[in-house]
């Protein structure tokens, strides 16, 4: 199972996910989003981290003005975008993941991040079948509430990866990762 860590906004999260060997880390550069980073803040964190590919995340209605500055200072090959961003202007990326819900999972993008506001264990047979139809011809990562116990169900639906999220530090340089440790241990051990 592949892992992308998103919403990385501090060095503590970046180092934690890099130590686990996740495939990518996405940093929010959309000024309208929560914990958005400026190009300078993003570069400062990325310069301290090795391993995972650096990705950016833009969930707003349009591509942020800071994108060109960000791309001029960092080598970024992948982006995560919200449902309203026009991807035709993002030709400099090798891969663009489109965030979608079960209702609009039919989007044009070949790379999706499927999100829903309930736990994986609450999916009904119809929803599972819809996910299987989506994953039959698209690369799909799951951004939902789950535990390591749900991995068999997730894999059976054809999901290729999961999204894990960074967050606020409890104090500078310190954060508890007990819940994430359980999930990552199940994947990487």
**Consecutive sets of 10 residues in the chain, 189 residues long: mean pLDDT of each?**
95 95 95 88 94 93 87 93 88 93 76 94 95 93 94 95 88 82 90
Output the pTM of the full model. Answer: 0.93
Which pair of structure tokens corresponds to residue 37? 């980073």
Name the CATH superfamily for 2-188.
Aldolase class I (3.20.20.70)
Closest residue by Cα to residue 35 from 61, 67, 13: 13
Contacts of 148 (CB under 8 A, 6+ apart): 182, 183, 185, 186, 187
Contact at 8 Å (CB) between 36 and 42? no
Specify the pLDDT at position 84.
86
E strand or H helix at 93: none
Provide the total of helices (H) and of strands (E) in the chain, helices listed first: 6, 8
Task: Please report the pLDDT score of residue 83 as a whole number.
Answer: 87
C-alpha dist (Å) from residue 164 to 66, 67, 85, 127, 130:
25, 23, 22, 22, 23
Ranges of each domain in the chain: 2-188
């Amino acid at each position: 199972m592949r892992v992308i860590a998103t919403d990385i906004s501090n060095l503590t999260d970046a180092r934690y996910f890099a130590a686990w060997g996740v495939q990518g880390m996405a940093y929010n550069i959309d000024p309208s989003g929560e914990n958005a980073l400026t190009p300078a803040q993003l570069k400062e964190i990325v310069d301290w981290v090795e391993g995972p590919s650096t990705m950016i995340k833009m969930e707003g209605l349009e591509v942020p003005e800071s994108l060109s500055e960000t791309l001029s200072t960092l080598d970024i090959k992948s982006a995560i975008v919200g449902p309203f961003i026009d991807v035709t202007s993002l030709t400099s990326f090798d891969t663009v993941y489109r965030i979608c819900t079960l209702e609009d999972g039919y989007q044009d993008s070949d790379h999706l991040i499927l999100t829903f506001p309930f736990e994986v264990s609450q999916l009904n047979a119809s929803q599972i079948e819809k996910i299987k139809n989506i994953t039959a011809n698209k690369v799909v990562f799951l951004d939902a509430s789950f535990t390591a116990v749900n991995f068999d169900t997730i894999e059976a639906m054809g999901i290729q990866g999961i999204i894990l999220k960074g967050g606020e530090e409890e104090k500078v340089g310190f954060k508890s990762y007990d819940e994430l440790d359980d999930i990552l241990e199940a994947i990487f051990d």
